[in-house]
C-alpha cells in the first residue's frame, strides 16, 4: 500500500505519494521505518518534541489541521496530511491497513475487578494442553503461541489490538484470550471487536477515581456483554453484580458458583497449603478438580476457565485432568521463600481474598506489607486499612507507586482504617519488606505477604519508573541473613 492509496483524496502538494507504507504508528516507542505516523496529542506526553527523531524514517505524518503551523515548522521534506480529526482518521487507516475477518477469529474477553489474569492464563494453559494455537493479551505479558511480548497495559489501544489480531490471523491462531479492563471499554479500545465468549469474574471497589461510583463502574463492564449479545457469556453469579448482569443480558449465558442455581456448581471443596481440591456438577455429572493454586477465590478462577473450555467444545474431563499441571503465575499468591508470598492484590476485595487464602492454608499469623497507588481512588485506602487491621497480625504500611502524591499522605489515608495498634508506617518499601521478614521470627505459624505490586518491576514516583521488584528484594534480604 502507498500513501496515495491510503489517502486518495489528500492534497499533499508536490511531494511524492507513491512511497510504500510499512505500517501505522502513533507511538515513537513502537515506531518502525516506513510507518505512517499519526500525531496524537497525549495528556502527559509531548509528541511534537519527538518528531525530529523520526521524520527522516517516516513515510508520512498525519496531524490535526489545528496543528498545521506547528507541524509545518518541524516537518519540511516528508509528506504531511492534515485532517479534521486525527483519531478518526487513525481508526479508518488502521482498519484499512490491517484488515480482519472477524468470523475467523475466536476472541475470549475476560473482565472483572479481580481474577482476570489468572483466568486468561488458565484458559491459555488448557488450550496449550489440547495442542491448540492461541494468543493472549493481559497485564503481565502478551503471547502469540510461544512468543512473549512485553505488556504495556492490560487492554492495549485500538491500533495495537488491530495489529496483534492481524498477525494472529496470519499465523492461524485459533483462539485469542484477552483481559478487558473497564478503562479499555470506556475508552473504546475494544470497539469493533467481535467477542465469541465474554467472562465476568467479579466486581468490587476499584478505579472509582475514574468511574466515580460502583453503578457507573458496573455499567461500563456490562457493555462488554451487551455489545456482544451473540457471544457466549460465563458469569460468576455468587457475585451480586454478576447476578444483576446475568438477569439483564440476553443470549447464551452460563452461571458459575457455589449457589444452587449455578450451571457450573461447586458442591464440595478443600483448601490447604499445597493447593486446593473441589467437586463441581454440570449436566448431572460431577467432576473432581485438583490444583496447586491456593485460596477459595481460585476455585472461581478455575471454574470459569473450565466453563470457557467446555463451551468451546473441548472435553471437560480432559480439561479437568490438565488443571493440576498449571503451577500459577508471576506475582499471584506466589511463594518466593519459606512462608513468604508476593501478590498483586491492590484492591480491598483482592487483599481480603489473599489474606483469607493464607489463613485457609493454616497460617495463624500473617505479617502484611502493603501500600496504595498515588493519584488513584482514595476511598479504597481506608477500606484496605480495615481489612489489614482485621486479618493481619501486623502490617507495615509503605509506598506503592506514589506517582505525584505525597507518600506520607497516602499512608495516613490507609492508617485511618486501622482499629487496632497493629501496624507501623515504613515509607521505604525495601526497609518495610526487610522488617517484615525479621518480624516473622516472633510469631508461630506465620506467613509474610508482600501485596500490591506482584509481577511489577518498578516503582512509579513522579514521572519516573524506578526499577523495583518485590521478589528480587525478598531474595536479596533472605540471602544476606
Q: For residue range 176-204, what is the model confidence (pLDDT) as tens digits?
A: 999 999 999 999 999 889 999 999 999 98
Task: Tell me the percentage of the chain whose pLDDT exceeds 90.
Answer: 86
Tell me the C-alpha distance between 452 and 388, whole Å.
Answer: 13
How do strand 334-337 and strand 365-370 relate by DSSP bridges? unpaired
pLDDT at 36: 95
Place of cell 447464551: 252
Domain ranges of the chain: 3-97, 102-325, 334-480
pLDDT at 11: 66
| Tens of pLDDT, residues 209-263 | 778 888 999 999 999 999 999 999 999 999 999 999 999 999 999 999 999 999 9
- pLDDT of 411 above 90: yes
- pLDDT of 313 above 70: yes
> Between the CA of residue 199 and those of 15, 77, 159, 231, what are the distances in Å?
50, 50, 23, 10
CATH 3.40.50.970 fits 334-480, yes or no: no
pLDDT at 14: 53
- pLDDT of 90 above 80: yes
| Tens of pLDDT, residues 272-308 | 999 999 999 998 899 999 999 999 999 999 999 999 9
Task: Tell me the percentage of the chain whose pLDDT exceeds 70.
Answer: 98
Residue pair 291/302 in contact by the 8 Å Cβ criterion: yes
pLDDT at 17: 66
pLDDT at 13: 57
- Whole-number mean pLDDT of the chain? 94
CA angle 466, 400, 300 (to 5 degrees): 120
- pLDDT of 455 above 70: yes
Average pLDDT over residues 72-78: 89
Highest mean pLDDT out of 1-10, 37-46, 131-140: 131-140
Query: Do 102-325 and 334-480 fold alike per CATH?
Result: no
Average pLDDT over residues 124-153: 96
pLDDT at 158: 93
pLDDT at 461: 96
Average pLDDT over residues 2-8: 88
- Domain spanning 3-97: CATH superfamily: MurE/MurF, N-terminal domain (3.40.1390.10)
| Tens of pLDDT, residues 352-409 | 999 999 999 999 999 999 999 999 999 999 999 999 999 999 999 999 999 999 999 9
Question: What confidence category does residue 10 fall into, taking pLDDT thresholds of 50, 70 and 90?
Answer: confident
- Domain spanning 102-325: CATH superfamily: Mur-like, catalytic domain (3.40.1190.10)
| Tens of pLDDT, residues 323-361 | 999 999 999 999 999 999 999 999 999 999 999 999 999
Q: Who's near 370: CB < 8 A, 6+ residues apart?
A: 345, 351, 384, 388, 395, 396, 397, 398, 400, 414, 449, 450, 451, 452
Question: What confidence category does residue 9 fall into, taking pLDDT thresholds of 50, 70 and 90?
Answer: confident
Secondary structure of 262-325 as H, E, C letters: CCEEEEEEEEECCEEEEEEEECCEEEEEEECCCCCHHHHHHHHHHHHHHHHCCCHHHHHHHHHH
Tell me the C-alpha distance between 94 and 479, whole Å.
Answer: 50
pLDDT at 273: 94
Amino acid at each position: 500500500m502507498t500513501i496515495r492509496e491510503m489517502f486518495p483524496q489528500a492534497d499533499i502538494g508536490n511531494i511524492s505519494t507513491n512511497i510504500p507504507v510499512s505500517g501505522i504508528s502513533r507511538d515513537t516507542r513502537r515506531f518502525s521505518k516506513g510507518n505512517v505516523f499519526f500525531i496524537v496529542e497525549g495528556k502527559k506526553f509531548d509528541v511534537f518534541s519527538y518528531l525530529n527523531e523520526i521524520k527522516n524514517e517516516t513515510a508520512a505524518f498525519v496531524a490535526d489541521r489545528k496543528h498545521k503551523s506547528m507541524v509545518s515548522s518541524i516537518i519540511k521534506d516528508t509528506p504531511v496530511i492534515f485532517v479534521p480529526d486525527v483519531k478518526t482518521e487513525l481508526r479508518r487507516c488502521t482498519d484499512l491497513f490491517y484488515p480482519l475477518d472477524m468470523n475467523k477469529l475466536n476472541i475470549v474477553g475476560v473482565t472483572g475487578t479481580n481474577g482476570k489474569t489468572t483466568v486468561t492464563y488458565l484458559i491459555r494453559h488448557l488450550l496449550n494442553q489440547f495442542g491448540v494455537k492461541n494468543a493472549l493479551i493481559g497485564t503481565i505479558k502478551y503471547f502469540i503461541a510461544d512468543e512473549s511480548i512485553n505488556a504495556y497495559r492490560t487492554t492495549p489501544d485500538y491500533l495495537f489490538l488491530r495489529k496483534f489480531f492481524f498477525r494472529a490471523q496470519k499465523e492461524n491462531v485459533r483462539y485469542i484470550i484477552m483481559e478487558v479492563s473497564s478503562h479499555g471499554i470506556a475508552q473504546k479500545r475494544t470497539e469493533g471487536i467481535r467477542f465469541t465468549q465474554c467472562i465476568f469474574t467479579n466486581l468490587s471497589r476499584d478505579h472509582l477515581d475514574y468511574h466515580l461510583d460502583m453503578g457507573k463502574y458496573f455499567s461500563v463492564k456490562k457493555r462488554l456483554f451487551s455489545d456482544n449479545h451473540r457471544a457466549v457469556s460465563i458469569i460468576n453469579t455468587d457475585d451480586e453484580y454478576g447476578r444483576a448482569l446475568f438477569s439483564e443480558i440476553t443470549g447464551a449465558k452460563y452461571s458459575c458458583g457455589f449457589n444452587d442455581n449455578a450451571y457450573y456448581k461447586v458442591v464440595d471443596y478443600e483448601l490447604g497449603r499445597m493447593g486446593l481440591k473441589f467437586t463441581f456438577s454440570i449436566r448431572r455429572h460431577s467432576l473432581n478438580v485438583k490444583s496447586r493454586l491456593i485460596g477459595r477465590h481460585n476455585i472461581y478462577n478455575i471454574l470459569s476457565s473450565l466453563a470457557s473450555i467446555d463451551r468451546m467444545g473441548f472435553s471437560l474431563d480432559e480439561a479437568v485432568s490438565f488443571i493440576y499441571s498449571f503451577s500459577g503465575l508471576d506475582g499471584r499468591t506466589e511463594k518466593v521463600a519459606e512462608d513468604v508470598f508476593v501478590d498483586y492484590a491492590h484492591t480491598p476485595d483482592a487483599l481480603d481474598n489473599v489474606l483469607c487464602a493464607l489463613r485457609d492454608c493454616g497460617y495463624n499469623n500473617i505479617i502484611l506489607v502493603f501500600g496504595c497507588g498515588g493519584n488513584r481512588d482514595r476511598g479504597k485506602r481506608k477500606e484496605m486499612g480495615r481489612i489489614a487491621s482485621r486479618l493481619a497480625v501486623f502490617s507495615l504500611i509503605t509506598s506503592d507507586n506514589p506517582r505525584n502524591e505525597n507518600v506520607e499522605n497516602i499512608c495516613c489515608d490507609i492508617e485511618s482504617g486501622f482499629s487496632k495498634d497493629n501496624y507501623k508506617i515504613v515509607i521505604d518499601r525495601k526497609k518495610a519488606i526487610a522488617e517484615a521478614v525479621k518480624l516473622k521470627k516472633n510469631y508461630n505459624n506465620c506467613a509474610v505477604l508482600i501485596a500490591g505490586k506482584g509481577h511489577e518491576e518498578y516503582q512509579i514516583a513522579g514521572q519516573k519508573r524506578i526499577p523495583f521488584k518485590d521478589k528480587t528484594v525478598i531474595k536479596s534480604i533472605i540471602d544476606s541473613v
